[in-house]
Every structure is written in C-alpha cells, then in structure tokens.
Structure 1
Amino acid sequence: MLESFHIGLYRGLQDINFNDLKDINVFVGQNNSGKTSVLEAIILSGLFDDVDLLVDTLVSRYQIFSVDLFKRMFTLGKEAIICLESKLRNNGNKIHTHVQYESAKRIKNYKDSTQVFEDFTLKFLYNACNDKEIKDKDDLNESFFIRFEEGEDGYQVILGSPKECKLDYKIPCQFVSFSRFDRSKRLLQTVDEVLDSNRRAELIDVLRIFDRDVDNFEVISKNRVIKIFKKGYNEPLSLNDYGNGMYKAFFIATSALLCKNGIFLIDEIEAGIHSEALSQFITRLLQVCKNNNVQLFLTTHSLEAIDVILNNCQDSLNDTAFYHLMSNKKDTKLKRYSGEKLIQLRNEIGFDVR
C-alpha cells in the first residue's frame, strides 16, 4: 500500500525517510525515540479521507486542546511537515500527499473589550497520477482542510473541501493506542461496523485465543455493555471481567477486520497482553491482516513480539521490515533491517534490535 514516507518536521522527528515499506512494518527503539510519532504522522499525511481519525490524532496526546499544546506538535512557520508517496494496489496509481499548516490572528470587538484569538489551519494537498514526477507543492491540489478556530469557550473544528477537488480514493485506516483514545466509545463503534459487515464469526475466532470456551458475544442493554457467552455457563460475562488482555484483543481484532485493503496502526502491541497469549495472538493477527490485504504498522518494546513476527513470516520475510529509531538531543537516526537480515542476526548472535 505505502511504498515510502517522508517526515519533514513533526514533533521530535525531522527530515526522516522511510523507504521500501513492506506488508508488515515494525518500529522499535527506546522510549521517546519517536515511534508513536511515526504512526501519528502516517495518519496526518492526508492519505486517508477520514476526518474523525485526523482530528482524534491531533488532540489525542492531551486532554485539552490549546495553542501551546498545538505548537509543541507543529513548529509553525516551517515548510510542510509530512510528505507521502504511495502506490495503490488496486489501480497502480501513485498518491502524493503533502501537509501544510498556517496560523492567523483574529480580533473580535465587544462593547467593553477587544479579544485576540489565534486560529490554526492544516491543509491537505494531494495528486494522484501514474508517472508524473512531483517536484513541489505547486503540482498538488488541495483536497480538504481542518481549521481550529479559537473562541471564548475553546476551539471549534471547521472542515472544508474545494468543490472542484475531491479525493477519488478511499483507503481504510484504523489506529489502536490505549494511552490516548476513549476506549469504550471507540470500541463500540468498531464492533458495530464489524457486525454490520457480517464478520462476527471471524471476531469470535480471535477471542478464543484467550478463552477457548467463548461461544458468542452481544452488545446489550441501553448502556451498550459487551457480554461474552461461554460454553457451560448460564450467565454471560462482561468484557471487563476478563481484564485488559481480552479487552485489547477484542479492540485490535475488530479494528483489523475493518482495515480490509487498507492500513492498520498499532502502538505497543504487547502492552496488556500476557506473555502466554502474546505469541498466539500476534500469529492470529498476522493471519487476519494477510487474509484481508492489510498493511500493518506497529511499535513494540518486546523482543518476544519481534521473534514471533520473524518466525511466523519465515516463508515471506521479504514482506517484513524493521525500523530502529535512535534519538539524541539533536536529531533522530533511522536504521532499516529487512526480515531476512534481522532473523539472520537473531539466529547467529542473538542481536537485540530494540
């Protein structure tokens, strides 16, 4: 799906190229090396016609949205932050996207006072073509914009798109990160979509990794509680009765099923999942992604998770890539390992890529 990706300037990342992306792409590195920022930057590239996902990503690092917090994410006054080139599998077109941002002061006069507000706009530019070389942003068209207008009661989100320029592609994308989103609300939305697409049985297969006796699940009562039905039990259990591991598995499984022919982003895939279930869960996830033509991007601190991916992809290591981010006070360095190279290093010297 994505062939290459360039981050000009986003948070702590500057002038980094991710080349030769594969079906499975794993980002590793120490804390604060920028792994999560890479996933966010992919969403903010403008490739996805999903405004809710874009807005969630912009505001999800913090509980509130403010001028100061926004400036920490984007250094205003600089050139475009994120550029992406993708060759679409369904039609062979290359998609070039480019994100620009700008800020403006707005003065509002009242009877007894004058207030100054600061607004921010992100413009998403794109060009879809077969062989045209994109030299600069003048070759791109505006697809849509998101403007945050400051007011007395906070920020209002304004969305817009030129009438003459509409996105002519639709790439599904899901982002799972438990440190950011309202988990219950987002989970119920994804469950509804899975049920609407008649894929209940596929989701139950994943749940049986954690409990082989799972027979079915339902969303019940006016509070919309997820209940799991087990063989041999008269009363159902709520999803929360199982703990964080089952909750995360349920969330990831529903999201993966919605990414058919699209992109799935997972931050710290091992978090909250017991080591005894991690191997089987990742194995099942990789199979779901393969069956549904999903390009996977994930971050991890777990050497066990890395080994599971390598061992499960031995017949297709050329479809796997690992990117090690190393951050210092000045910049971030990137080292790419092919699946073939990394498994060789693991087997010969026990190389720890983390």
Structure 2
Amino acid sequence: MISALTIENYRGFKNFSMNKVKRINLIVGGNNIGKTSVLEAIMLIISKGDPQTIWKIISGRGEIVNYVGIPQGVIQPEISVRHLFHGHEVKLGSAFKISAIMTQANKSIDVDFKIIEAKQVDQILYASLPSEGMDTFGPKIALSITRSDKKNPLLLSIPLSSQGTLKQNTLQTLVNINFQQFPNEDERAVFQYIPTTSLTGQELISMWNAVALTAEEKRVVEALQSLDDNIEQVAAISSPVIFPQFGQKTGFIVKMRDLEKPVPIGSLGEGTWRMLVLAIALVKSKDAILLIDEIDIGLHFRALSSMWEMIVAASNRLNVQVFATTHNNDCIKSLAMLKESEISIQRIESFDGPAIYYSADEIRVAATRNIEVR
C-alpha cells in the first residue's frame, strides 16, 4: 500500500504531497483543483511509468490532437503528451516526477518523466516507425521514463513529434520491441480505475470472471440488495457481442423477486449500475489499488452508508487500498459514521503544497458538528 505521495510539475501541480495515507482515502477539494490528477499520478507510480498507462490517462481525458489517416486507410488516434507537464509545455528539459512511499517495504519509489533530445539509438528507432506525423526536419525529441531501480533505471524513450504528440501505432511498436517490460493485462493489473463515466458493459463483463461462481458473487448481490431488496440474482449475458450504440449499461441482467423474467440492469437506474461496478471492481482489485473518480455518482444519499460499508468490508477482506474523490458532503458524512480507523480525508487546497489530512476521529467530529471539510 501507499503511505505517502509526492507530485512535482505534473499537470496543475507544482509541488504537491499527500501524507498519512490510509487504506480508505477520500480526496476532496474544489473544482479544477487536481483531484483526478492525483488519481492519475497514483496510476503512473504504481504502473512504474508504463507508457500504456500514459495512453489510457491522456485518451481518457479526451486530449486527442487529431486523427490521421495512414495509407492503408486506417484511422490512427494521436494524443498530446504536453498536457501532462506543468504549464502544458513540451520542450527540451521539461520534466515531472512522481514519488511514493510503500508501506510493505517502507521504501520510496520514484518515476521521472523528461523531454530529451533523441539519441542515436532513438534516431534508429525513429526510422523504423511509421513516418506519418513524425517530423522530417528539426531536432528529434523523446519522452524519457526512468525509475528508482538500480538494476534497470531506464524504462523507455518514447519518440515524439516536435509538438509533443504520440501515435497509437508508435506506442504499439515500442511495446512490441520491449515486450519483456510490458506484461499482459492480467499480470499488469496492479490497479483498477473507475472514471466518472463508470465502466462500460464490455469492460465489466471482462472483470466478471473474478466474481462469478465464487463466494464474492453473493456479496455483489448483497451490495445491490442494499439499494433494492427485490434483487435476487445478477448475471452477465452470455452473448460475446455488446452493442455500445444501445448504451453503456449493457451486458448484465437481474432477477427480481416480484418478476418472472429477468430485466436488464439498466432498467434499475444509475445507482444500481454504479454499485455493481464498485462491487466487481473491488474483487478485481484484490491485493492491489482501486481508484474511483466521483465515487458517489448516481447514488442517493441514503445509499452512501451501504456503499461505504461494502467498500470497507471488501477492502479489508481482499487487501485493497482505495482512493476516491467526491464533491458531496453527504458522502463525507456517511464515511464519518463508520467505526473504522483506517480511513482518511485528504483535502486539496492548492496546487503548491501538501493536502490537509483529516483522521478518522477528526472526520467524525467534523460530521457531528457540521464543520465543512470539502
């Protein structure tokens, strides 16, 4: 688990730290103050700078420059790496760094990201990559990723255009060349991330195998029953084809006590889908980290206590560390009502300075006295 986090020059943060991190951590603060950026920084440090994680973060934000056609007629997305850097500027020497202290070994791990001039070996790599969008003239630049590993400190140098853009096929070429450094998806599952848009049916079905036909399946149903006690069973649709055009909440059906035939889970509303996502993601996050952006989306304030009880019980049982964000004071109050010591609130007040830490006892006092901690 992470016990402390430091961010330097990443996105809006100049110098930020978060200390006294617990098993359950709720990150609060105003709009555009960097709550989601903290979750991204955790992804980057836990994945040790995996460039595929970089792609997920940037594309998830919609920071796509344009779409460029290649001769075969395939459309390739192109992302802008410059938005990761403080000031949105990419030039030689631009850099950001993320550090964390890990509880297990009580040691610090660091990952540094820096814009460098491509060296001769990188120039050769440039020549092997598709030429579309890569600059013909001018200095070649690359994103250098290094980590605090004495045996293998250099992870990769990623060729970029002079504007700091990266293509999907470029990334895939690099991954193929360095395949030993990038294990498959299951081996790399050191964190799970739930965005504000939740997960799609296809993504959730791919995680369902960790739950189906295990003791955890019953607990998923119990989580849904906290919202509607008529729910008896939940199941993934056997068809491998999911049609995104019919909406995000596809792929699961629910058996209701008062209905003869099962109904699509989307019929039960946003809250039921969100609770299903949280319950399955917790199981998938066994011995790992779960990151949840705007955790209370779709949930009525009366359901928040049940949500937190589920999360605390599952995180203790499955050894999951949770980082979540919220704007909702009811979400904070419901967390405060739990008799649990391994919780914290981390309030972000500035892009330059530490987060303000609230212990479990301080959260309870603030809730009972209606003290604003958001």
Give the structure-2-normalised TM-score: 0.75
CA shift at 1:265, angstroms? Answer: 0.9
In structure 1, C-alpha distance between the alignment counterparts of 2:151 and 2:365, rounded to whole Å: 42
* AA aligned opposite 1:252: L
- Over the matched positions of the two proteins, sequence identity in percent amounts to 21
Give 2:31's aligned residue: 31
* AA aligned opposite 2:357: R
Matched, 1:297 2:310: no
**Which of the two has greater strand per residue?**
1
* AA aligned opposite 1:78: S
Paired residue secondary structure (2:355): strand
CA deviation string 1:95-151 (max 9, x = no partner): 5132323355778799xxx84597643525134xxxxxxxxxxx573374473666x
CA shift at 1:299, angstroms? Answer: 0.8
Q: 2:145 aligns with which of 90, 105, 123?
A: 123
Matched, 1:141 2:152: yes
CA deviation string 1:53-109 (max 9, x = no partner): 553123210162567832122244234421122132xxx463513232335577879
CA shift at 1:279, angstroms? Answer: 2.1
Aligned pairs for 1:136-215 (under 5 A) are 139=150, 141-142=152-153, 144-145=155-156, 147=158, 154-156=167-169, 157=171, 158-159=174-175, 161=178, 172-179=190-197, 183-195=200-212, 199-215=216-232
Give 1:133's aligned residue: none
In structure 1, C-alpha distance between the alignment counterparts of 2:178 and 2:343, rounded to whole Å: 36
8 Å CA contact 2:47, 2:190 repeated in 1: no
In structure 1, C-alpha distance between the alignment counterparts of 2:101 and 2:271, rounded to whole Å: 35
Aligned pairs for 1:1-354 (under 5 A) are 1-47=1-47, 53-62=53-62, 64=64, 69-75=80-86, 76=90, 77-88=93-104, 92=105, 94=107, 96-102=109-115, 115=136, 120-121=142-143, 123-127=145-149, 139=150, 141-142=152-153, 144-145=155-156, 147=158, 154-156=167-169, 157=171, 158-159=174-175, 161=178, 172-179=190-197, 183-195=200-212, 199-220=216-237, 221-224=239-242, 225-312=251-338, 314=339, 316-317=340-341, 319-327=342-350, 331=352, 334-347=355-368, 349-354=369-374
8 Å CA contact 2:290, 2:323 repeated in 1: yes
In structure 1, C-alpha distance between the alignment counterparts of 2:21 and 2:230, rounded to whole Å: 38
* AA aligned opposite 1:56: K
> What do you get for the CA RMSD once the two structures are aligned?
3.5
- Residues 1:327 and 1:68: Cα distance change in structure 2 (over 3 Å): farther
Unmatched 5+ residue regions in structure 1? Answer: 128-138
CA deviation string 1:145-190 (max 9, x = no partner): 473666x994321226596999xx97731111134x7623322222
8 Å CA contact 2:191, 2:290 repeated in 1: yes
Paired residue secondary structure (1:233): coil
Give the structure-1-normalised TM-score: 0.79
CA shift at 1:339, angstroms? Answer: 1.9
- Residues 1:47 and 1:20: Cα distance change in structure 2 (over 3 Å): farther
* AA aligned opposite 1:121: L
In structure 2, C-alpha distance between the alignment counterparts of 1:68 and 1:56, rounded to whole Å: 10
Unmatched 5+ residue regions in structure 2? Answer: 67-77, 243-250
8 Å CA contact 1:26, 1:299 repeated in 2: yes
8 Å CA contact 1:230, 1:236 repeated in 2: yes
Give 1:136's aligned residue: none
In structure 2, C-alpha distance between the alignment counterparts of 1:51 and 1:256, rounded to whole Å: 25
In structure 2, C-alpha distance between the alignment counterparts of 1:172 and 1:321, rounded to whole Å: 22
- Residues 1:335 and 1:49: Cα distance change in structure 2 (over 3 Å): closer
- Residues 1:249 and 1:122: Cα distance change in structure 2 (over 3 Å): farther
* AA aligned opposite 2:296: E
Give 1:132's aligned residue: none
